[in-house]
Amino acid sequence: MLTPRYSQNCRVAECIVLLLGQVAIVIRDQYRVMEMVVRAFQQRLFHPPSNLDGYIVIELGMIAAKTGVSRIKGEGGGGAG
């Protein structure tokens, strides 16, 4: 059984991922903002697998849709392989 504290921490982490994705889109023209957010998402994605992975994939998709796939393709380290 999940404790209320654990559930609250998971919800906070989910909100942070969603917020970072939106920040990357809104201020994408600021120096390296997009690169840093995408790199953080790619490094975290599936390392280790978690409930946040789905949110990260959604946000990477939103970034790609709003800014163009070339903005995220090949940036960063991690990723799913």
Share of the chain above pLDDT 90, in %: 44
Query: Based on the structure, what is the number of domains in the chain?
Result: 1
Q: Is residue 19 part of a domain?
A: yes
User: What's the whole-number mean pLDDT along residues 24-32?
Assistant: 88
The pTM of this model reads 0.76
Q: Is residue 24 part of a domain?
A: yes
User: What's the whole-number mean pLDDT along residues 53-73?
Assistant: 84
Q: Is residue 26 part of a domain?
A: yes
CB 33 within 8 A of CB 27: yes
Could you list the residue range(s) of the whole structural domain that residue 51 is in? 4-71
| pLDDT at 6 (0 to 100) | 75
Token readout for 12 is 């906070």
Q: Is residue 77 part of a domain?
A: no
Q: Is residue 80 part of a domain?
A: no
pLDDT at 58 over 80: yes
Under 8 Å CB-to-CB from 39, ≥6 apart: which residues?
Answer: 75, 76, 77
Q: Is residue 30 part of a domain?
A: yes
Q: Is residue 61 part of a domain?
A: yes
| pLDDT at 7 (0 to 100) | 81
Q: Is residue 81 part of a domain?
A: no
DSSP 70: G
